[in-house]
Chains A and B, each alone.
Chain A
Amino acid sequence: MIENALALVGSVAPILQNAGTSYPAIPPKAAAALAVGLAAFGAGYAERGIGAAAVGAIAEDDDMFGRGLILTVLPETLVILALVVVFVVPDWSAVV
């Protein structure tokens, strides 16, 4: 998968460079998108453990449902914060 991605970037970069100006291999928006993806990955991993514990607690006591749900989705904040980056990063055309 990583090789494919590199190959893709590698094949895109020369085309972009052909236009005459120098371009980064990964444009700002794409980098921001990657950041969101990685953040989501981390959030998913964190939720794995919390979710298992929450389900255990709910199985013992139904009242824990609300608290369990909140704690389980807490790592989602990571993704939301990462999403901010997409809007903060300037557009490619703005940089050029």
Chain B
Amino acid sequence: MSTEQTATGGNYEYVIARVRSRRAALFDDDDYRKLVRMGTGEIARFMEETEYETEMNALGSRHTGVDLVEYALNRNIAKHFDDLLRWADGRLYEYVARYLRKFDAWNVKTIIRGKYADASREEVETDLIRAGEFDDEFLESLLTASSIEDVVELLENTRFGDGLAEAYPVYEEEGVLVPLENALDRAFYEELLTGLSGEVSRAMELYIEFLSAEVDFRNMRNAFRLARSGADIDPSEYYIEGGKLFDADEISQLSRNTDQLVEFVRESKYGEDLEEGLASLEDADSLMQLEQALDAALLEYSDTLSNRYPLSVCPVLAYVLAKEREVDNIRAIARGREAGLSEDDIESELVIL
């Protein structure tokens, strides 16, 4: 998989027609409402009759119950995102590939967590989402690495290398994974919006617009978490470059005071979408509602962008987001049912537009 630039602009028409069709086939409110009322076995059976049929059948002999659902979801999402790369040509390919490196970060995180928790190789392997840029061989070598230090060493020459090398001593000192995971996230997001070829085109503008919205939401989430926890951490350590809403100084100031932060977000261009979540934060003092609202608002904003610019990279990225959200939702339902949560509790966990 290369991100080499080609002369062509990309085959937007073809890819977007396919993506829109798949987007329309995602689960809707009714499906979720049905799923929430099912037991874990029923969920598995329901999924066998949908989009996830192939994966459920392939994995059905080896796993059961919630695990089966979860592995089928991982495999399905990898299949869909590989399809995107297969279809896309030229510059469109470059944009999509860049964005799907998210799964490299995710896979590395999963492997590091597995090593940290001494999970068996098979357990970790089934949790990987093979949609990113790392090929199977490299993931294999990461999986067989004996310690987190080895993993960090193996990644030295990748785009995550520098960040991880910096974070590793902190991890050794404190014994928590947060610095490593944070380094991975930052490496991914910063790479997304830097080192673009610098050409000025409408496609590039839209790509940047879409991603800076995502970075904004991520920064917002970090800021709210920090403001709520009142922890004495330097917020700029968690700040991701590339957003339009905050700069590093603003976020340092705002994340000391929840009220100010709420006011700031309300005045911003995302204020309208987030109104409900912000209100619930003020009333119920619950961050969870706001985080759901953030996810939903990002999804909605991505839909707005893809309706406004139908022949651009936006619908493709919006589909990626929506698909991820669906997988998260189904996982939440399956895990929630397994843990015996009530229907209302599970429903409040879901992000539905």
A residues with CB within 8 A of B: 49-50, 52-57, 59-61
Contact = CB atoms under 8 A, between A and B. Distances in A.
Interface in B1-39: 11, 13-18, 21-22
Contact of A50 (B13, B15, B16, B21): B13
B57 to A, nearest CB: 21
Given A56-B13, A57-B21, 19 more contacts: A50-B13, A52-B11, A52-B13, A52-B14, A53-B13, A53-B14, A53-B16, A55-B14, A55-B17, A56-B14, A56-B15, A56-B18, A56-B21, A59-B18, A60-B17, A60-B18, A60-B21, A60-B22, A61-B21
Contacts of A59: 18
A49 B13 contact: yes
Contacts of A60: 17-18, 21-22
Nearest to A58: B17
28 contacts: A49-B13, A52-B11, A52-B13, A52-B17, A53-B13, A53-B14, A53-B16, A53-B17, A54-B17, A55-B14, A55-B17, A56-B13, A56-B14, A56-B15, A56-B16, A56-B17, A56-B18, A56-B21, A56-B87, A57-B17, A57-B18, A57-B21, A59-B18, A60-B17, A60-B18, A60-B21, A60-B22, A61-B21
> Main secondary structure on chain A at its contact with chain B?
helix
Contacts of A50: 13
Contacts, number: 30
A76 to B, nearest CB: 18
A20 B21 CA distance: 66
B312 to A, nearest CB: 14
Contacts of B22: 60
A59 B86 CA distance: 14
Contacts of B21: 56-57, 60-61
Q: Which 5 A-B pairs have the closest CB atoms?
A: A56-B17, A60-B21, A52-B13, A53-B17, A53-B13
Nearest to A56: B17
Contacts of B17: 52-57, 60
B44 to A, nearest CB: 25
Contacts of A57: 17-18, 21
Most buried by B among A55, A59, A60, A61: A60
Nearest to A54: B17
A56 B316 CA distance: 14
Most buried by B among A50, A52, A53, A54: A53
Interface in B180-208: none
B313 to A, nearest CB: 16
Contacts of A52: 11, 13-14, 17
Contacts of A61: 21
A62 to B, nearest CB: 11
